[in-house]
Amino acid sequence: MEKDKKKLEGKEERSFRTMEIRDEDEDKQIFGYAALFDDPADEINGFIERVAPGAFTETLKSSDPRALINHEAGKLLGRFSKGTLKLKEDKKGLYYEINPPETSYANDLLELLKRGDIDQSSFQFTVDKEEWDESGEVPVRTIVKVAELFDVSPVTFPWYKNTVAGVKSRAEVFEEYRRRQQKFAKDKLDLYKKKIKLHERDDLNG
């Protein structure tokens, strides 16, 4: 239970405007990209973010993500392990296809997609490995490896405009990074001070 709690506490969400609907012989499909590789997001909350190619390779072998509407568990569209949600990495990003069920909420979603009222995808995940680059004017965070992929979702609002309970905001991600950097700098300074004191003590004893 504690492990699951930690997973949820570290969950993040991202959105991309890369979704379409396919309607052939009454076989409706929702498809698009849940994530785009090497496509830096606009600067928000003080940093730029990108997803590295291969970030989902390992998690697709172990996770069982769902397709949901607005990340709501009660509005299930498909499941990876059952084949109603298909996911694969290609050169562009994390591609998905959803075979939606014959439910009222799924049919409502299809109508909204046709009208263009909903045109963005989002995914929720936890990070296993990240890298930060502060060599430029704006820090860049690169998500190198995703630990767990929870879901992909057509969304009404992108994540940075509509925070979701239990999901980290970009501001929180950046604040955590800054805290780690500050702690590292403080620990380094404390270690330096300790070395100075040891040298001073040795000089006195000598």
pLDDT at 42: 63
Token representation of residue 108: 């409502």
Integer CA distances (angstroms), 40 to 16, 52, 128, 203, 206, in order: 11, 10, 19, 54, 58
pLDDT tens sequence for the chain (206 residues): 434 444 445 676 665 555 556 655 456 888 888 888 887 766 666 788 889 999 999 999 999 999 999 999 999 999 999 999 999 999 988 999 999 999 999 999 999 988 888 888 888 999 999 999 989 888 888 999 999 999 998 888 765 333 233 344 556 666 776 777 777 777 777 777 777 777 777 666 66
For 100, phi then psi, to 5°, come to -70, 150
pLDDT at 98: 93
Q: What is the pTM of this model?
A: 0.69
pLDDT at 203: 66
For the chain, give percent helix, strand, coil, nearest 5. Answer: 30, 40, 30
pLDDT at 23: 58
